[in-house]
Structure 1
Amino acid sequence: MIAVQILLRENIRKTKYHDGCESRPQQATLAEYCGEMKAHMSFPVYFVDIRLAAIREVRLPKERPDQEIRRLLDCREPGSIISPENLFVYFAQHGESSGAHSLANFEGIRNSITGNMIIGGADSSGHLYRPRLPITDVARRIELIRPYLDPVPHGGKSRGSKIDFQIRIARQTLVVQQ
């Protein structure tokens, strides 16, 4: 706590008032300081929510990012693949068992992926870091494939008539969330 107070005292800034004639020193708040520290102690990656068909940026801590990956993917042992563009793709290995019926085709990766994904950069030693590609480029490389069951009623009265289902496959791109 003493170290935080010392850093807060050093982080004094001047505030100009609307009349422009006076400026007074003001200490940065603890929330501002913690926000700055969090930015230095974490790095951005992309989170793909397959149910919402959306991709957004999230931050992982530099120390032990695997715990946050497990929490975001809601699984104990996530699978991982490195794409040809040196993107690290983490995914829930049993996404289909958790109700994720959609598949994701990632350009450059041969097999389809079920469930949510975390996408980050990969270096030659296999460490995770900030992705080099912008989020819009990554979103363009992922195509969602969703099966739909459409009812096909047979002719006749609605009472006692038989209803069959027809499977329809829809392809969808990801929406970038801010």
Structure 2
Amino acid sequence: MLLVAAPSLFRQGLLGLLRQRWPQLLLTLTADATQVAALVARRPFGAVVLDGGGLPGPALPRLLAQVRQVRPAQRLLLLADARHPRPPAGPHPALVLPRHVLPQALAAALAPWLDGAPGLAATPVAARPSRAPAVATAFSPRELEVLRLVVDDYCNREIAGHLYLSVRTVESHRRALLQKSGARTLVGLVAWALRAGVVA
């Protein structure tokens, strides 16, 4: 599978989920959309997942046309937002999902393509018992503000500037968020926050 996405917490969460569900899956990662057509020309992928968020609107149809030119039947899953035009329908249309789809929904969309791939057996994703609080009231209003910005992939310095706090205070809020949510990593915190509906 080819994943075209900028480094982010979303990409990390998606990679973890894909590796858990399809342990034998060979993943090729690139953040450079200009490499996609050349990579697809070298060999077919079980799926190409393209995050259109880093591309200007007009560049996306051009990129999809290049991929279709070198490998017309390539399976494409496009993560797009409202500013991206819908790809044209054809004999092999691209599957389009909202850009901020949950990683579990993205894995479910890929399942029909990857479950039947030779050498790939899906491993059921076991539900781990949640150590997280059942409701968001365990967090202070300021912690919830920090959490929303963490989910939006802001770094500590950006959060501090946005909320008029010191970087050390932001670090303290992030530690409290990890402790109260029961998450061990920021990726786990973001996954829990999205799953629990604490942030949208």
TM range (shorter): under 0.3
User: TM-score, normalising length from structure 2?
Assistant: 0.23
Which structure is higher in RCO with an 8 Å CA cutoff and minimum separation 6?
2
Structure with max Cα Rg: 1
TM-score normalised to structure 1 length: 0.25
